Amino acid sequence: MAKKVVATLQTKGKSMAKVIRMVKSPGSASYAFKENIVPVDAVEEFLKKQ
């Protein structure tokens, strides 16, 4: 039987956010999704950099 793992995104009182970005593959016309967990106050900065 498989176990279900639940992770909290809050550590040491600092809120975190899961950011999912769609990135185009250089060789083909397909897209891939990159997931990162960043602090809430750094989300805008993370999304601005390419």
Q: Tens of pLDDT along the chain (50 residues)?
A: 445 444 555 556 678 888 888 888 888 889 888 888 888 888 888 888 76
User: The whole model's pTM is what?
Assistant: 0.55
Number of domains in the chain: 1
User: Would residue 36 count as lying in a domain?
Assistant: yes
Give the strand pairing for 10-11 and 14-24.
antiparallel
User: Would residue 31 count as lying in a domain?
Assistant: yes
State the residue range of the domain holding 31.
Answer: 10-41
Please check whether residue 30 is in contact with residue 23, taking contact to mean a CB–CB distance below 8 angstroms: no
User: Would residue 17 count as lying in a domain?
Assistant: yes
User: Would residue 2 count as lying in a domain?
Assistant: no
SS3 23: strand
Please check whether residue 17 is in contact with residue 40, taking contact to mean a CB–CB distance below 8 angstroms: yes
User: Would residue 47 count as lying in a domain?
Assistant: no
User: Would residue 3 count as lying in a domain?
Assistant: no
How confident is the model at residue 18, as a pLDDT?
A: 87
